[in-house]
Structure 1
Amino acid sequence: MPNLLHLDSSARTASFSRDLGARFARRWREAYPNGGYTHRDLTREPIPPIGEAWTQICDTMLAEQITDPGRYREAVRTPAQRRAWAVVQPLLDELLAADVVLIGVPMYNFSVPASLKAWIDQVTFPRMNLAGKRFVVAGARGGSYVEGAPRAPYDHQERYLRDFIVGHFAVQDVRFVHAELTNARLDPGLAHLRDRHAASVTAALARIEAVADELAAEVEAVS
């Protein structure tokens, strides 16, 4: 049965990215009640930043051309590196076991939260290839960053994740679903956009369920 890895990175307990991710996970688990499911809350259980020992492991991988994830452990040599690897190992195991990776991520300061960036840094190694896996990004943004919007050029959330997932991991199937204009609920200056925000949330909730159904059917067809 397929495995789903579900990451949350919002600092808020009640958040649109969490709601979207939960909606996808619920739909997916209805399709695969006996499938594997791992949920990791990167805010409640923060991942530490990488340190020098982690970089030394990567240097060894490069120098010795270790590209098979099954051999990554061979690059761990010193006590400091073993301590660094003890952080990496469970995160990497979860990622490698997943058929689908679901990332709930708000936009913070035009980009992604530090909690998610720390996870990305820990699990990413030189020439790492995750081709064949599918990624779903359930996002939320305070403003509007759709194509043609004034702030679209400042979107370093989707652009960063898309470039990274496709460019480094060689993943060809990555799907983004965003709830936009979330600040319109609170900011009087955006009050005139509250209807657009509500419509965006409604559309995103429907879309995330559709994506879950689409992926469940696609995975079933190839399993």
Structure 2
Amino acid sequence: MTHLLHLDSSARSRSFSRTLTGLFATAWRAANPASTYTHRDLVASPVPPIGEAWTEICDHLLTHRITDIDRYAEAVTTPARRAAWATVAPLLDELVAADVVLIGAPMYNYSVPAALKAWLDQVTFPRMDLSGRSFVVASARGGSYQPGAPRAPFDHQERYLRDFFAGHYAVTDVTFVTTELTNALVDPVLADLRPDQEASHAAALAQVDELVARFTSAP
């Protein structure tokens, strides 16, 4: 039995990234009726920023060379740390339990939403090893950041997340599903790019179907 953790971080209730994650989650659950599923909306229920007590937990883990996630609670030795851990523990439990982590992450100001960054900060401690898990990131971007596009060098979203998952979690199975040029639907200056936007979104929808088939096919 597998477990899917589904995170959304778009400020829009009807967004392209939420559409993509919703389609993936619905298809995944239909194909895996015996499996389990957790959805966390990081906008509707924001995760608070880390505080000093969180850093003390992190320092304790480093000092005592604790590498086993199941032993992280050993660092919770003061009232302030217990309060911090009350926030961390359910988030970390959801992440560790997941086989597939589905993240809706629109590009905001060339990077990720603050809501997602707060979650990443909370669930990341020294020497975490989540290898063997798969991450799927559903992204939406106002412009085009494909290789060769003028703004490609400004893409600090995909590179950041890939480096983060590999560097902190030892996870390299990361797939991005991206709808680009969404601003063409609202900005008259970009109206001539609407066909390109539609093509990008259609390709993303097809990729969702392919990914669901990949994760639900029999070994």
TM superposition score normalised by structure 1: 0.97
Q: Which whole-Å CA distance do the structure 2 matches of 1:86 and 1:34 have between them?
A: 30
Structure 2 alignment gaps of length 5 or more:
none
Matched, 1:170 2:175: no
Number of aligned residue pairs:
219
Q: Which letter maps to 1:30?
A: A
RMSD across aligned C-alpha pairs, in angstroms?
Answer: 0.7
Deviations 1:137-182 (A, max 9, x none): 0000000001111100000111110110112211121100100000
Tell me which residue corresponds to 1:201.
201
Contact 2:162 2:172 (C-alpha < 8 Å) held by counterparts: no
Contact 1:27 1:213 (C-alpha < 8 Å) held by counterparts: no
Q: How many angstroms does 1:212 deviate by?
A: 1.4
Q: Which whole-Å CA distance do the structure 1 matches of 2:84 and 2:33 have between them?
A: 35
Q: Which whole-Å CA distance do the structure 2 matches of 1:42 and 1:120 have between them?
A: 11
Q: Which whole-Å CA distance do the structure 2 matches of 1:173 and 1:31 have between them?
A: 21
Structure 1 alignment gaps of length 5 or more:
none
Tell me which residue corresponds to 1:187.
187
Contact 2:181 2:193 (C-alpha < 8 Å) held by counterparts: yes
Q: Which whole-Å CA distance do the structure 2 matches of 1:13 and 1:177 have between them?
A: 19
Per the alignment, in what secondary structure is the counterpart of residue 176 of structure 1?
Answer: strand
Tell me which residue corresponds to 2:112.
112
Q: How many angstroms does 1:34 deviate by?
A: 1.8
Q: Which whole-Å CA distance do the structure 2 matches of 1:118 and 1:213 have between them?
A: 31
Per the alignment, in what secondary structure is the counterpart of residue 120 of structure 1?
Answer: helix
Matched, 1:160 2:197: no
Per the alignment, in what secondary structure is the counterpart of residue 168 of structure 1?
Answer: helix
TM superposition score normalised by structure 2: 0.99
Summarize the alignment of residues 58-69 of structure 1 with structure 2, pairs less than 5 Å apart. Answer: 58-69=58-69
Query: Identity over the aligned pairs, expressed in percent?
Result: 65
Per the alignment, in what secondary structure is the counterpart of residue 143 of structure 1?
Answer: coil
Q: Which whole-Å CA distance do the structure 1 matches of 2:26 and 2:74 have between them?
A: 38
